Every structure is written in structure tokens, then in C-alpha cells.
Structure 1
Amino acid sequence: MSERLDGTVALVTGASSGIGEATARELARHGAAMALVARRGDRLERLAADITGAGGTALPLPLDITDQAQAADAVKRTVAELGRLDTVVNNAGIMLPGPILDAPTEEWDRMVALNLQGLLYVTHAALPHLLTAADGGPRQVADLVNISSVAGRHATMGAGIYNLTKFGVNAFTESLRQEVTARHVRVSVVEPGSVETELRSHIREEIRNIVMRRIADIEPMQSEDIADAVAYIVTRPRRVAINELLMRPTEQVG
């Protein structure tokens, strides 16, 4: 049976759409007060209104976590305005696949900045508060969930830098897990396969056409499927830690 998250505070990055938005809604339904982080403030305001309209608590924080000062400010404002921090979901990310040869390296910079550095900046700022929550919070446990990808488990041609960032997320997650798990901060990684989100819309058209042909016969997962998995992870009893969760559409082979 799932435990409630009443009296706790959760921060979700990339909350303006897709997996982040669905996760924020799901954790709010479980009773958590929500800090909503993304760059698109108008979307965060609408999401916050939906959550508060349903009886929850939501704090929209429009900012860019690839800037370390802004990432730290997101955590600082969450604790100052909502009182604590018990759960962090590092969901913000971008997928820009394509050949390494002759690649536009600004795409590499964008993936490294958001998929890795943004995640690191938020984690660095949040960890002291998560340790405090685990030591004296209502559930006596805290959670950090990093959204990675099946691309973090095996490398494929045409996705080298995206693979690099997601392999990095997986390695960082496991190292940090070993560092803090004895203090009841659970560190988890979720590795989705194909999900129907805005992620694909950011890909260059010629590359997007190739990607879409590869997955044309697969019914993709929905953002709510991943949100449900995140909620499962963070609502386990204190004695249970879900370290890694790999999810693929039923028809996806690789």
C-alpha cells in the first residue's frame, strides 16, 4: 500500500510539461506541497492553479537550472516559502540526437548543461535539506529521483552525446546512493523508453524523421505512466528503497 506524502514538500524540475507536469500532479494528489520549477512561467502558473484548485499547495518557480545561482535559488525559495524539502525529482532534460560527425556542437552544450549540470546544481543545493528531512521529517525518509533514459543503459549510433549525459546521470545516481542511503535519503533513477512528450519536438527535422520511423510501430508510454512510477518510488515505506526502475513500452525491443 502506498504511503501518503502529507506534511512533506516536493520539488520537480521541468514541471511545465510532459513527465514533470504529470509527476507534479501525481505527487500533489498524494498530499505533497509542490515546488514547480521550469523556465516557462505561464505554464507553471496554470499548473499551480490546477493543484491549488484541487485543494493542494503549489509554488511556481520560473527559472533556469542550468545557471547554478538560479538552481540554488529554487531550493532556497522552496524551503523559505513551503517550510522544508523532502522530495526532489530531477526531471528537466533535453534529447537532441544525431551523428557525432559534423554535429552542431551547440546541441551538445545544451544537453550537457541541462541533463547533467542542471541536475547536479539542483542536487547539490537540495542535499542538506533532504538530509534534514530524513533526520526529522514526518516520514523519517527523503527521496531524490533522477529521470534518466534507456539511453543511459546502452549506447546507440546516432545518440552519442545524449547517451553520454544519461550514462552520467546513472553513474552519479548510484554513487550518491551509496553515499547517503545509510542516512535514509533514498536516491533512485528511472529509465524510460519511448514516451509521448514534447521532447521529440526539439529535435532537428531531418533527425526527427529518422527517429519517428524507428518508433512508428510502437505505442509509446504516456507521461502519466512515468509519474505513476515516481509516485510508487517515493511512497514506499522507510525500509524500502527502489534504486533503479527501467520502463519500456511493451512493444519496444531496444
Structure 2
Amino acid sequence: MINHQVAAVSGGTSGIGYATLEALREVDVQVAFSGRRAERVRQIAAEHNRDGCCVEGVVADAVDEDHVHRLFDAASAAFGAQPTAFILCAGRGMPGSLVTSDVSQWEDLLRINVLGAMRQLRTCAGLFTQAHPGTAQIRDIVVIGSTVGRVLSAGNPVYGATKFALHSLVESLRQELCERGVRVSLIEPGFVKTEFQASAGYDMRWFNELEQTQGPFLSARDLAASIRFVLEQPPHVHVDDIRIRPSRQRV
């Protein structure tokens, strides 16, 4: 990849994050990635490093205050250079409306999807603007949002509220950093079929039945291809927002 030799992926052990890691490795980008499951982090590193160190894993939670610093330090130690691209995939879902959702999960949802993302974006913005002042090196921040962060979802508004907040943060950061050589981009997927739904507690029977009428749903690799497209644009071109849905998804 012309723009980046080293990238960092937050939430790179499954789903869109792992597909992005693989897509970057296909074009010889070295990747530092994070995830909460230590065994999964070790497994990914072992699989990809058989012929030399090309990925470096960090066991971290999305809300850890030192999350991004640890990712960047791991990349520097393993590859001799800090990332110039940061892809934020870490997050969680939650089914239900304001009335029907599990109120005991609200705080954790906001802590991960909003506060955790805010900390990561703030830290990454600081590192990117400090590391390459006055240089032509383009730096990229790519954030995974959701269509429910733009179009009101009556069935999933609590999760959607965290994505509305995230989208606002991403656009404000884009405006703040665009003159400093940092591109901030948002990817808004519709229905994507990964382990995200089951781990968040969605009704998988409903989800599978929905795919019969509005699918086939997107795969994680479909999203990874969009992320790679954003990263591969020449420095004077910024694809700052992509909304991507299954062809038959209505809303």
C-alpha cells in the first residue's frame, strides 16, 4: 500500500477488525492489533508470523486509557515504525428499544461505544499530529459506525444513540484535523453477518429470518474492502464517509 507501511487495528480479533487485518496483510502492511481475548490474540499472531514478524497483538479493552499508546508502542517495538493508519473497530451491540432493552447494560454500552471511542480518537489524533508535523505523510483514522447512527431505528435506538454520538465525534474530528495531514473517515454498514450479533445477545432466529428477505447480508470482508479503498486513495483525495448496505436492505 503506497500510503501506509504500518497500521493499527483496534478490535482486530474478530469480525470487521480481523477481516481488515487480513486485507491489510494482503498488501504487505504490518499491523498492530488489539483484542480482549488473550488466547485469540496469540493465535492470530502465531498464524501470521510464521515467516517473520508482520503482526503484533496487544491484549486490551476498548475503554483502557492506554489502549492506543500500547498499540503504537507495540508497533514501534515490532516494526521499527509507528502506524500511520488507525482503524477503530472495537465496540459492542445491544438489542432492544428504550423501553425493552436491558437497562443494566446501558452504562457499559456507552462506556465502550462512546467514551472508549472518544479516548482512542483523542489519543490517536494527538499521536498523529505530533509525529509528523510539517511532512507530506498522510495519516488515516477510519471508524466503523452504523446505518443506525444516521437513520432512526425504532427497534434498536439505544445502540443507535451511541452511533449517532460517534458519527458526530468523527465529523468534528475530521474538521479539526483535515488541515494537519490527517484524514478521518466513517464507514456506515448496514446488516453485516459476523459473530457481533450473537455476542451482543440479538435474537439470531430473527436475524437469520431477516436475511431471507433482505439478504444476503454483508460479510466482514466487504467492509474490509471499503476500508482498504479509503486508505489507498492518493493524499489529496479524502473519502470521508461511506454508507454500505446489502442490496436488498430497505432501511
Q: Name the residue aligned to 1:85.
A: 83
3-state DSSP of counterpart to 1:196: coil
Normalising by structure 2, we get a TM-score of: 0.90
Q: 1:62 aligns with which of 56, 59, 71?
A: 59
Is the alpha carbon distance of 1:98 and 1:54 closer, same or farther for their aligned partners in structure 2, counting shifts above 3 Å? Answer: farther
Taking only aligned residues, the RMSD between alpha carbons, in angstroms, comes to 2.1
How many percent of aligned residue pairs carry the same amino acid? Answer: 27
Q: Name the residue aligned to 1:216.
A: 212
Is the alpha carbon distance of 1:54 and 1:245 closer, same or farther for their aligned partners in structure 2, counting shifts above 3 Å? Answer: farther
Q: Which structure 2 residues correspond to residues 1-254 of structure 1 after superposition, within 5 A?
A: 3-5=1-3, 8-53=5-50, 57-82=54-79, 83-132=81-130, 134-135=132-133, 140-204=137-201, 207-217=203-213, 218-254=215-251
Which residue identity is paired with 2:63?
T
In the alignment, is the contact (CA less than 8 A) between 1:31 and 1:56 conserved in 2? Answer: no
3-state DSSP of counterpart to 2:90: coil
> What is the CA-CA distance between 1:71 and the residue it aligns to?
4.6
Is the alpha carbon distance of 1:44 and 1:239 closer, same or farther for their aligned partners in structure 2, counting shifts above 3 Å? Answer: same
Is the alpha carbon distance of 1:54 and 1:244 closer, same or farther for their aligned partners in structure 2, counting shifts above 3 Å? Answer: farther
In the alignment, is the contact (CA less than 8 A) between 2:84 and 2:140 conserved in 1? Answer: yes
In the alignment, is the contact (CA less than 8 A) between 2:72 and 2:82 conserved in 1? Answer: no
Mapped to 1, the partners of 2:219 and 2:234 lie a distance apart of 26
Mapped to 1, the partners of 2:106 and 2:140 lie a distance apart of 29
Most deviating of 175-184 and 149-158 = 149-158
In the alignment, is the contact (CA less than 8 A) between 2:142 and 2:186 conserved in 1? Answer: yes
Most deviating of 179-188 and 118-127 = 118-127
Mapped to 1, the partners of 2:116 and 2:198 lie a distance apart of 21
> What is the CA-CA distance between 1:158 and the residue it aligns to?
2.0
Is the alpha carbon distance of 1:243 and 1:134 closer, same or farther for their aligned partners in structure 2, counting shifts above 3 Å? Answer: farther
In the alignment, is the contact (CA less than 8 A) between 1:71 and 1:125 conserved in 2? Answer: yes
In the alignment, is the contact (CA less than 8 A) between 1:4 and 1:30 conserved in 2? Answer: no
Q: Deviations over 1:53-95 (max 9, x none)?
A: 3666111101112122345433343344432120100001111
Is the alpha carbon distance of 1:170 and 1:19 closer, same or farther for their aligned partners in structure 2, counting shifts above 3 Å? Answer: same
> What is the CA-CA distance between 1:26 and the residue it aligns to?
1.0
Normalising by structure 1, we get a TM-score of: 0.89
Mapped to 2, the partners of 1:54 and 1:30 lie a distance apart of 15
Q: Deviations over 1:154-194 (max 9, x none)?
A: 11112111111111111111000000011110000000111
Q: Gaps (5+ residues) in structure 1? A: none
> What is the CA-CA distance between 1:122 and the residue it aligns to?
1.7
Q: Gaps (5+ residues) in structure 2? A: none
Is the alpha carbon distance of 1:56 and 1:4 closer, same or farther for their aligned partners in structure 2, counting shifts above 3 Å? Answer: farther
Mapped to 2, the partners of 1:150 and 1:202 lie a distance apart of 20
In the alignment, is the contact (CA less than 8 A) between 1:96 and 1:202 conserved in 2? Answer: no
